[in-house]
Amino acid sequence: MNKYICTNRNENYQTEVEKILISRKQEILDFFNVEDNGQFNFNIYIYNTIDDLVNGMKSRGFPNMPNYMCACYKDEDNSLNFFEPNDNPDENEWSKEEYKNVIFHEEIHGIQSIIYGEQPEWLTEGVAKYLDGTYSKGVKYLLDEYINKTDIPPMHELENEFGMHDYDSYDYSYLMVRYLIETLGKDKFLTAIKSKETIEELSNDLVNKAVDYYNKKYIGTNSEM
C-alpha cells in the first residue's frame, strides 16, 4: 500500500490523489507489459504549496530542486512528491484538474524506476510524455510550432544538462522516445531499455535522427498523429 506523509491543508486531497494513482496505474502497467504483484507502492508526500514542496524536498536532502518544480519522483526514497493546488487558482497557478495529469506523469516515473532502475532523464521524461498526453496535438504541430523554429540542441546537452537551457528539453525527449517506439516497435523498445549499453548505442545522435525522421514524414503533408 502507498504510504502518505501529508502536510497539506485538506485531508481529503490524499483520497483524491490515491484515486488518480489507482485509476491510472493499469495504463502504465499495460504499456510496460508487467503485472502488479504489489511492488508498485510509494511513499507519497503532499505539501501545502509549491514553495513548501521545494523547501520540503531540500530539507529532506535534495538541495538541487529547482524553484519552478511542481512535483517529482525520487528513487532515492521511492517517493512521489506533490503539493495541493488551490481550489480557486488564478490564471498562473495549477488547477486541481490540470494537476491530475501531473500526478499521473510522476506515477509513470515511479513505476518505470521500479522496473528498470536509474535511467537517463531524456528517456524517463520521454516515456512519461509519450504516455501522459501532453502532445495530443500531434507531431506535425510540435515540429511546426516549436522544434523547427529553433536550432536542434546537441545530444550531449539532452543527456547531461536536461532542462538547463532555454529550449524545452521535454519536446525533444518525447520526440526521441516516440521515434524509438515507432521504428523499433514497443516490445523491442522495452527490451532495449533494459540495457544501459543498448541505451547508449541508441542515443548516438538520436535527437537529429528523430527530428529528421519526423520532418521527412510530416512536413509538407497534412498528416497528423
Domain locations in the chain as residue ranges: 3-116, 121-218
Strands 79-83 and 43-47: parallel
Residues whose CB is less than 8 angstroms from the CB of residue 62 and which lie 6 or more positions away in sequence, other chains included: 74, 76
User: In this predicted structure, what is the pLDDT of residue 11?
Assistant: 86
Summarize pLDDT for 90-148 with one digit per residue, the tens.
Answer: 999 999 999 999 999 999 999 999 999 999 999 999 999 999 999 999 999 999 999 99
User: In this predicted structure, what is the pLDDT of residue 176?
Assistant: 98
Contact 88, 77 (CB under 8 A): no
The CA R_g of the chain, rounded to the nearest whole Å, is: 18
As a whole number, mean pLDDT of residues 171-175 equals 98
Separation between Cα atoms, residue 129 and residue 73, nearest integer Å: 15
User: pLDDT class for 222, splitting at 50, 70, 90?
Assistant: very low
As a whole number, mean pLDDT of residues 76-84 equals 97
Separation between Cα atoms, residue 10 and residue 71, nearest integer Å: 18
Separation between Cα atoms, residue 38 and residue 205, nearest integer Å: 38
Strands 79-83 and 72-74: antiparallel
Residues whose CB is less than 8 angstroms from the CB of residue 223 and which lie 6 or more positions away in sequence, other chains included: 140, 217
**Grid cell of 70 as nine digits:** 511542481
Summarize pLDDT for 3-26 with one digit per residue, the tens.
Answer: 999 999 888 999 999 999 999 999
Summarize pLDDT for 175-217 with one digit per residue, the tens.
Answer: 999 999 999 999 999 999 999 999 999 999 999 999 999 999 9
The answer on pLDDT for 223 being more than 80 is no
Read off the DSSP letter of residue 9.
Answer: S
CATH code for the structural domain at 3-116: 3.40.30.160
Cell numbers 523547501 correspond to 55
The answer on pLDDT for 224 being more than 60 is no
